[in-house]
Amino acid sequence: MKKILAVILAAMIAAYVCGCSKNLGQTNKADIPELVWYVPGSKQADMELVKEKINEILVPKIGATLDIQFIDDGAYQERMNMNMASGTVFDLCFCGYVNVYYDCIRQGGIIPLNDLINKEAPSLLKALPQYLFDAATVNGKIYAIPNNQIMAQNIALSFQKKLVDKYSYNLSDVKRNGDIEPFLKTIKDKEPDLYPFNGGTSVRINLWSMDKYENAYIGLNCLWIDKSDEQCKVIKRYDTKEFLEGIHTLRDWYNKGYIRKDVTSATGASDSQYAVSAIFNKPGLEQELEKKLGIELDTVNLYKAHMTTQGCIQTMTGVSATSKNPEKAVKIIEQVNTNAELYNLIVYGVEGKHYTKINDKYIKVIPESGYSDSGAWKFGNQFNAYITEGKPENVWEETQKQNDEATKSKLLGFAFNTKKISSEIAQCVSVTEKYSAIEDGSVDVDTFLEKYIQEMEDAGINIVKAELQSQIDEFLANKK
């Protein structure tokens, strides 16, 4: 009888403990908050599976789960405007080239992170270079963390290797863009199926200006500053000899047949139809283009890489003003920048299901697996990413080196408040767009230039210039 009672008692205790454990587990689960992170991109079929794996990492580390919600690229800006205006509760968001960083700050949509970083995520300060924090600082406060990737721009000329070899062209002779004219003439005369030169819609006049100048305000590419000028005096680009040399050279090349006649309407910045293409270069890009085009390339960097504020704040992660768990949101940013396992899970999905490992560094993405690379540059520290096939083994080390060794803008961290002069800026942008053909060689420079300058003056470029200079002067004075 004693044995029977002992068995019954043991069973009752086990049932009680099991019930308590079950209730405790339910309580703990209810206490774990789920944080929402909005990112531009396509929805992923296997998002729930990846989310489950993500949270297996995050729950023990920070006591929270994460729900990454992709919003179609084309709808992201409008959706985030609505979310911030309506007070929608969420925790993290992508901001930068879309969901513009300064607009998010002005709307009060994201919060300062300085104190939260120091208290909750101090390893971020060691994981990222100081110049990224400098670029993200607005009036002494950091409102979002730049995603560490290629930041410094470097203009280069990319040549089809077979043509370089065929005509024994010595690339060591190319010190600046004008040096390629003999090669362009050879292509024009001997390769009728090719266009000799592609300036690219985003490069063009930078070929002549970038060695000396940077844009003082990226929203209006007609006001420059001399990189070497400690006082950062604003210059109208059409007052510089570099701008004039550039547009006249492009016009000359157009007339000689080095630039395609339909350049204004043609699309595609770099393809196999061109003998030489101007590009913004970065480590690994040559290999990417070779894979895309199916041809070998030789690339020559023209100038030392340069880093500006805009180059650093195009891809960032901010914490929403409506977040109920900002401390944990900052911890997630910390994890995505310092935890390579988590980072690669977010970017590439689950090993064996969405990609296979070639070795410790390289992976092979599985096509149509249910989770595709949604853009490694959208999340945290890209230098934690696996390397996909075709890229050089040292691509991340070389990219970090390009960033570190680049000249840094004296205006790193400067944010232009355009509120007072928004109408003048809009008018100047309209004129710039109207006369954009002046930069591709397709119009008579002298006729267009005179009209362009007059209309820019009438639109208020000098008012914009004066306000920009005033804010730059104040920024530099406060830096001291």
312 contacts: CB under 8 Å, gap ≥ 6:
131, 132, 135, 136, 146, 151, 412
CATH code of 318's domain:
3.40.190.10
CB-CB neighbours of 389 under 10 Å: 11
In one letter, which amino acid is 271?
D
pLDDT score recorded for residue 351: 96
Spacing of C-alpha 261 from chain mean position: 32
User: What pLDDT sits at residue 221?
Assistant: 87
What's the confidence (pLDDT) of residue 28? 59
Q: How many Å apart are CA 398 and CA 284, to the nearest integer?
A: 9
Burial of 241 (0-12, 13-18, 19+ CB in 10 A): exposed
Predicted TM-score (pTM) of this structure: 0.86
Spell out the SS3 assignment of the chain.
CHHHHHHHHHHHHHHHHHHHHHHHHHHHHHHCCEEEEEEECCCCCCHHHHHHHHHHHHHHHHCCEEEEEEECHHHHHHHHHHHHHHCCCCCEEEEECCCCHHHHHHCCCECCCHHHHHHHCCHHHHHCCHHHHHHHEECCEECEEECCCCCCEEEEEEEEHHHHHHCCCCHHHCCCHHHHHHHHHHHHHHCCCCEEEECCCCCCCHHHHCCCEEECCCCCCCEEEECCCCCCCEEEHHHCHHHHHHHHHHHHHHHCCCCCCCCCCCCCCCCCCEEEEEEEECCCHHHHHHHHHCCCEEEEECCCCEECHHHHCCEEEEEECCCCCHHHHHHHHHHHHHCHHHHHHHHHCCECCCEEECCCCEEEECCCCCCCCCCHHHCCCHHHCCEECCCCCCHHHHHHHHHHHCEECCCCCCCCCCHHHHHHHHHHHHHHHHCHHHHCCCCCHHHHHHHHHHHHHHHCHHHHHHHHHHHHHHHHHHHC
**First-to-final CA distance of the chain:** 89
250 occurs within a structural domain: no
46-54's contacts with Cβ under 8 Å and 24+ in sequence apart are 46/349, 46/350, 46/353, 46/354, 46/369, 46/370, 46/371, 47/371, 49/349, 49/350, 49/353, 49/370, 49/371, 50/345, 50/346, 50/349, 50/350, 50/354, 50/371, 53/345, 53/350, 54/342, 54/345, 54/346
- Go through the chain and tell me how many residues it has: 480
Q: Tell me which residue has tokens 């570099």.
A: 242
The verdict on residue 123 lying in a domain is yes
pLDDT digits (tens, 9 = 90+) for 13-44: 344 434 444 443 443 566 899 999 999 999 99
Whether 143 maps to a domain, the answer reads yes
Q: How many CB atoms lie within 10 A of CB 227?
A: 18
The range of the structural domain enclosing residue 46 comes to 32-148+312-348
Looking up tokens 């101007």 gives 278
In a domain, 327, yes or no: yes
Cα torsion 337, 339, 342, 343: sign: positive
Whether 464 is in a domain gets the answer no
Q: What is the pLDDT of residue 267?
A: 65
pLDDT for the residue numbered 16: 40
23 Ramachandran zone, left/alpha/beta (phi>0; psi -120 to 50): alpha
pLDDT of residue 22: 40
Longest Cα–Cα distance in the chain:
112
For residue 145 the two structure tokens come to 């963390």
* Residue 164 belongs to a domain: no
> How many distinct structural domains can be found in the chain?
1
Residues of the chain with pLDDT under 50: 1-27, 269
Are 264 and 437 in contact by the 8 Å Cβ rule? The answer is: yes
Domain annotation covers residue 260: no
What local confidence, expressed as pLDDT, does residue 1 receive?
42
CA separation for the pair 388, 375 (Å, rounded): 12
Is the residue at 160 inside a domain?
no
At residue 331's C-alpha, the angle toward residues 326 and 336, to 5°, is: 125
Residue 276's beta-bridge partner residues? 159, 197
